[in-house]
Each structure stands twice: as structure tokens, then as C-alpha cells.
């Protein structure tokens, strides 16, 4: 029993490892040659961060769409021309708009995307603070004077009732 469980465990781990391997193999194979490793690294970074305009949820590095291949070629060319990363990103933005960025820029349309988490956190803190504040205030009020809600007449009635019970 224990042995078969062990076997299953091993095969699961092995399968998991295999699936990690296949991820890197699936990525489109590029044969671009770079003179230095630094440009190679920038190429990898850019093609990973830029989105393929044709395919909805793939970056340029992973996509086999023709347009993605064209854009990879263009990035390669621009890197060889010593263009900066920002130049390349701007080039893409001019043509395909914000869609190509996986990391959206801060703009009128996206400020909520960037600031909503902080705003919600702030809202939560304020809400908790307010609730705690109201509760402690209410408890204090009750402990200070338990019968503040009753007016003179009601107090009298209460006393009477208590008396009559005895």
C-alpha cells in the first residue's frame, strides 16, 4: 500500500517536472543571432512583455502568428540598430496602441486599475476604524450610564416595577 502510494507520488512529481519542460519547448523558436548577450536578453524581455496584436493572449515570444514573427523580426532589427527599449516600445505603441502592453500605462482609462487596490485597502481600514470606534463608544456609553435611554417618567416606572416584583 505504502509502496504504491510512493510510486504514484514519484510519477506525479515526474509529470509535473515534464510539464515545466514542455512550457519552454512550446515557445516559438527564434534563430535570431545577436552580437552580444545583453541584446539577446533585451530581445527576450521585450518579446515576453509585448503582446501579439493578432492573438488575444499570447506574447510576441510565444506566438506563431505571422504578425508576431514580423514584429520579432522588427525588434531584432531595431536592437541591431542600437535603438533603446523605450524606442521599440514606442514604435509598437504608435502602431498597435496600448493593447500591445501587458503592463498597462498609467492613463485616464487605467488609473483605477493601478489605484483601485490601494483605494480599497484604504476604504477597508477606514471602515474597520469606524466600526471599532462606534462600538467602543457605544460600550462606554452603556457602562457610564446604563439607563440614559429612559426619561424620568420611564425611570420611575422601572423603579415601580422592580419594587412590585419584590
Lay out the site mask for other proteins across 74-103 (x = CB under 8 A, - = otherwise): x------------------xxxxx-x----
Closest CA to 45 of 31, 29, 59: 59
CA distance 56 to 140: 58
H helix intervals, the chain: 2-26, 37-49, 66-80, 85-96, 111-144, 152-165
Residue of 4, 56, 145, 164 that binds other proteins (CB under 8 A):
56
Closest CB 82 distance from other proteins, rounded Å:
20
> 119-138 mask for other proteins (x: CB under 8 A)?
--------------------
Position 153 contacts other proteins (CB under 8 A): no
| DSSP β-bridge partners for residue 51 | 59
CB of 40 to other proteins, least distance (A): 23
Stretch that binds other proteins, among 17-25, 66-74, 114-122, 149-157 (CB under 8 A): 66-74
The Cα–Cα gap between 42 and 143 comes to 67
- Rounded to whole angstroms, the Cα distance separating 110 from 53 reads 19
Residue 42, C-beta contacts closer than 8 angstroms, at least 6 positions apart: 79, 85
Largest CA distance in the chain: 102
* Size of the residue set binding other proteins (CB under 8 A): 14
Binding segment toward other proteins, per CB under 8 A, in 7-15, 25-33, 65-73, 105-113: 65-73
Using CB under 8 A as the criterion, which residues of the chain lie in contact with other proteins when the complex forms? 53-54, 56, 66-67, 70-71, 74, 93-97, 99
Amino acid at each position: 500500500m505504502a509502496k504504491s502510494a510512493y510510486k504514484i507520488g514519484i510519477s506525479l512529481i515526474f509529470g509535473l517536472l515534464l510539464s515545466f519542460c514542455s512550457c519552454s519547448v512550446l515557445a516559438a523558436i527564434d534563430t535570431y543571432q545577436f552580437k552580444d548577450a545583453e541584446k539577446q536578453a533585451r530581445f527576450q524581455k521585450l518579446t515576453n512583455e509585448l503582446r501579439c496584436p493578432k492573438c488575444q493572449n499570447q506574447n510576441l515570444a510565444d506566438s506563431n502568428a505571422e504578425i508576431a514573427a514580423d514584429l520579432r523580426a522588427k525588434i531584432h532589427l531595431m536592437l541591431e540598430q542600437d535603438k533603446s527599449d523605450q524606442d521599440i516600445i514606442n514604435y509598437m505603441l504608435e502602431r498597435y496602441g496600448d493593447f500591445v502592453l501587458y503592463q498597462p500605462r498609467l492613463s485616464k482609462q487605467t488609473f483605477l486599475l493601478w489605484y483601485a487596490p490601494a483605494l480599497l485597502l484604504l476604504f477597508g481600514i477606514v471602515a474597520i476604524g469606524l466600526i471599532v470606534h462606534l462600538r467602543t463608544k457605544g460600550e462606554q456609553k452603556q457602562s457610564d450610564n446604563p439607563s440614559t435611554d429612559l426619561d424620568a417618567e420611564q425611570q420611575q416606572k422601572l423603579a415601580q416595577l422592580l419594587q412590585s416584583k419584590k
